[in-house]
Amino acid sequence: MGYYFKTSDLSVGYDGNVLIHDINIEIEKGEILSLIGPNGAGKSTILKSITKHLEMISGDAHIADASVRHMSFKDLAKKVSVVLTERIKGELLTCYDVVATGRYPYTNSLGILSEEDREKVFAAMRRVHAEELAGRDFHSISDGQRQRILLARAICQEPEIIVLDEPTSFLDIKHKLELLSILRSMSKEKGITVIMSLHEIDLAQKISDKVVCVKGETISNFGTPEDIFKTEIITDLYGMEKGSYNIAFGSVELPRPEGEAKTFVIASCGNGINVFRRLQKEEKPFYAGIIYENDIDYHVARYLAQEVVSVPAFTETTEEDFERAAALMDNCDEVICAGFPKGAKILERLEEKARADGKLVSSKAGL
């Protein structure tokens, strides 16, 4: 399958001043491309340039074999619909009126809608579950409802590409998921290509087929989510000096507590996560172990604990592992047993040692 949308040595900016240069991205029809990066990096500038809301400074974008630079606005509107962050101006517009503007590239010079056009307006509203909003004043509805109406307008335009600038901003989690689910189904069922900027990197990781990292004067990284969502890439992209990006959870972790650890946490099978995060909030440094590296506890402890006694997945624990954990426990004032399954012999030994040493303050062993 060939690339459907691509940019070629594209440079974008304002008033002839280049903000980002050498933008080269390629995506196939029906793929979802997300732009991520810090505020002010230029994500919106790229989107506005490929939709001709801003003039490209140099280079070009192509839809199939057609040059966007040389495409008329009317022809572009038949291929690309845009949902930007700017507020729609105009008083007394109903939601139906707003959605209906998506049909204007197909109407005559008077902009009169045909019966077929009107049916497509209602079909688009049904697609985003907004039929009941048709007669409502567009400026009186909620942000979540407004975003659905703008998406319906974009769908009504019958595009091959939908471009969205921060479509999930100001939406609660329910409406974020609903909006992204609609975009995902449209891309896979209808073959519509989606290009958007997102602030929520966890959602970008889950929904995107391709990801662009926007930072500085060039695109710092471009590839699949598997290529992009790595701790070092995300940390560098956002200039994170405190905290870290948890690749397993697709989320950020606050900085680990500083200082000498005086608490040891025995945990496995996800039982330790709440304890780890509680200690982090209390700014209490801690050790953790013995945890297999494919255990969900490990993927939090590695970012929050001062040290983790870990074991490679699918290997046997050893006496050396026990001694490493016991040595750390000897330096602690308290031991918390967050929980582990029955039969985990080496963790049972650690708990018995903590009890014998008089350091066990809490135990949920044998869960």
Looking at the structure, tell me whether residues 53 and 127 fall in a common domain.
yes
Looking at the structure, tell me whether residues 153 and 267 fall in a common domain.
no
- pLDDT tens digits, one per residue of 82-141: 998 666 666 779 999 999 999 988 876 667 889 999 999 999 999 888 999 999 999 899
- Which of residues 263 and 250 earns the better pLDDT score? 263
Looking at the structure, tell me whether residues 87 and 30 fall in a common domain.
yes
Task: Quote the longest CA-to-CA distance of the chain.
Answer: 88
What is the extent of the structural domain holding 330? 254-365
- Do residues 250 and 206 touch, judged by C-beta distance below 8 A? yes
Residue 102 CA to residue 142 CA, distance in Å, equals 21
pTM across the whole model: 0.85
Looking at the structure, tell me whether residues 292 and 201 fall in a common domain.
no
Kind and range of the H or E run holding 201: helix 201-207
- Which of residues 168 and 224 earns the better pLDDT score? 224
CATH number, position 323: 3.40.50.20
Residue 171 CA to residue 165 CA, distance in Å, equals 13
Q: Is the pLDDT of residue 213 over 80?
A: yes
pLDDT (0 to 100) of residue 2: 66
Looking at the structure, tell me whether residues 211 and 271 fall in a common domain.
no
Looking at the structure, tell me whether residues 11 and 136 fall in a common domain.
yes
Domain stop point among 246, 263, 286: 246
Q: Mean per-residue pLDDT for 164-184? A: 89
Residue 177 CA to residue 181 CA, distance in Å, equals 6
Looking at the structure, tell me whether residues 231 and 267 fall in a common domain.
no
pLDDT (0 to 100) of residue 156: 92
Bridge partners, residue 213, by sequence: 36, 221
pLDDT (0 to 100) of residue 74: 87
Residue 98 CA to residue 203 CA, distance in Å, equals 28
Looking at the structure, tell me whether residues 195 and 339 fall in a common domain.
no
pLDDT (0 to 100) of residue 365: 75
Say which residues have a Cβ less than 8 Å from residue 66's Cβ, sequence separation at least 6: 79
Tell me which residue of 153, 158, 154, 162 sits closest to 93, measured CA to CA: 153
Looking at the structure, tell me whether residues 236 and 288 fall in a common domain.
no
Looking at the structure, tell me whether residues 236 and 130 fall in a common domain.
yes
Q: Is the pLDDT of residue 147 over 70?
A: yes
Burial 5-19 (b: 16+ CB within 10 A, else e): bbbeebbbbeeeeeb
Looking at the structure, tell me whether residues 43 and 186 fall in a common domain.
yes
CATH number, position 163: 3.40.50.300
Looking at the structure, tell me whether residues 217 and 338 fall in a common domain.
no
Domain stop point among 246, 267, 301: 246
Give, to the nearest 10 degrees, the angle between helix 173-189 and helix 143-156. 10
Number of domains in the chain: 2
Domain stop point among 204, 220, 246: 246
pLDDT (0 to 100) of residue 367: 60
- Look at strands 17-23 and 5-14 and give their pairing: antiparallel
Q: Give the torsion through C-alpha atoms of 218, 223, 226, 232, to 10 deg.
A: -20
- Do residues 63 and 52 touch, judged by C-beta distance below 8 A? no
DSSP H helical ranges for 15-114? 43-50, 73-79, 95-100
- Number of helices and strands (H, E) in the chain? 13, 18
